[in-house]
């Protein structure tokens, strides 16, 4: 650690989050976030996409390679699969606010100039990014959050979160000081990696059907 760097415990986006101005102000400020070291290697901040007042918020882990290049969440292979699953569950992705627990792409390279390989963020990196998610929640005020996978689950619900235990159920919890309903499910990337992709996809759609019912 360089002498001027903060210890990992002290990482936080909090000083970068503006207190007013809605989503446009948040997005602008997030572009300059230096709350943890992940900004250094990423191309850009990938902030949430969608409208304030969206009834549904989808929370993923962190941007992937494509998202990092394009600056939008869920535009790569996982996003395409998620869009198909949402459509099967009768949810219009255009009606949802889509974001991630961590706003910068974390990756490793096996060799210089080789493909960038996704690396899961630590709990502390997710906690450091928490003030952005809290600010998005305060502005969007979604009726329901779909929690996509373990990192988003731990960021929102704590380190004891286990997606296999609670997936496809409607939870009622206090999140960043607000009463909130949530439906956890697997991350779409886990579906892409599954041995039986079709069964995993069906499982994701079944959980999203629970979310669609909870919204109706
Ligand atoms: N995976 C995520 O969790 N989020 C994205 O935006 C893309 C892939």
The more confident residue out of 130 and 115 is 130
pLDDT tens-digit readout, 36-65: 999 999 999 999 999 999 999 999 999 999
Say how far apart CA 37 and CA 26 lie, in whole Å: 19
Kind and range of the H or E element at 100? strand 96-100
Q: Is 67 in the pocket of ligand 1 (CB under 6 A)?
A: yes
| pLDDT greater than 70 at residue 8 | no
DSSP letters of 20-45? Answer: SSHHHHHHHHHTT--SSGGGTTSSS-
Ligand 1 atom closest to Cα of 98?
6
Say how far apart CA 147 and CA 101 lie, in whole Å: 10
Q: Is 78 in the pocket of ligand 1 (CB under 6 A)?
A: yes
Residue-level pLDDT at 213: 98
Residue-level pLDDT at 5: 53
Domains delineated in the chain: 21-215 (3.40.470.10)
Residue-level pLDDT at 6: 60
Say how far apart CA 58 and CA 182 lie, in whole Å: 10
pTM of the predicted protein model: 0.95
pLDDT tens-digit readout, 158-175: 999 999 999 999 999 999
What spacing in Å lies between the alpha carbon of 82 and ligand 1's midpoint? 10
Residue-level pLDDT at 2: 46
pLDDT band at 141 (very low <50, low <70, confident <90, very high): very high
Q: Is 73 in the pocket of ligand 1 (CB under 6 A)?
A: yes
| pLDDT greater than 80 at residue 114 | yes
What spacing in Å lies between the alpha carbon of 47 and ligand 1's midpoint? 11
Q: Is 93 in the pocket of ligand 1 (CB under 6 A)?
A: no
What's the average model confidence in pLDDT over 9-34?
A: 95
| pLDDT greater than 50 at residue 126 | yes
- Rg of the chain over Cα atoms, rounded to whole angstroms, equals 17
| pLDDT greater than 90 at residue 9 | no
Residue-level pLDDT at 10: 87
């Amino acid at each position: 650690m360089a002498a001027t760097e903060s210890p990992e415990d002290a990482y936080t986006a909090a000083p970068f989050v503006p207190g007013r101005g809605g989503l446009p102000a948040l997005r602008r400020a997030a572009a300059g976030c230096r709350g943890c070291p992940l900004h250094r290697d990423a191309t850009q901040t990938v902030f949430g996409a969608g409208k304030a007042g969206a009834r549904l918020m989808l929370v993923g882990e962190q941007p992937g390679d494509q998202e990092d290049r394009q600056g939008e969440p869920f535009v790569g292979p996982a996003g395409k699969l998620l869009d198909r699953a949402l459509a099967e569950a009768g949810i219009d992705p255009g009606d949802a606010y889509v974001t991630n627990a961590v706003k910068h792409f974390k990756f490793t390279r096996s060799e210089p100039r080789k493909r960038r390989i996704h690396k899961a963020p630590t709990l502390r990196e997710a906690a450091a990014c928490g003030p952005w998610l809290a600010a998005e929640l305060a502005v969007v005020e979604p009726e329901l959050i779909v929690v996509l996978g373990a990192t988003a689950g731990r960021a929102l619900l704590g380190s004891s979160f286990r997606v296999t235990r609670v997936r496809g159920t409607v939870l009622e919890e206090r999140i960043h000081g607000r009463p909130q309903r949530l439906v956890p499910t697997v991350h779409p990337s886990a579906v892409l990696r599954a041995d039986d992709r079709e069964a995993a996809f069906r499982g994701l759609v079944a959980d999203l059907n629970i979310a669609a019912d909870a919204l109706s």
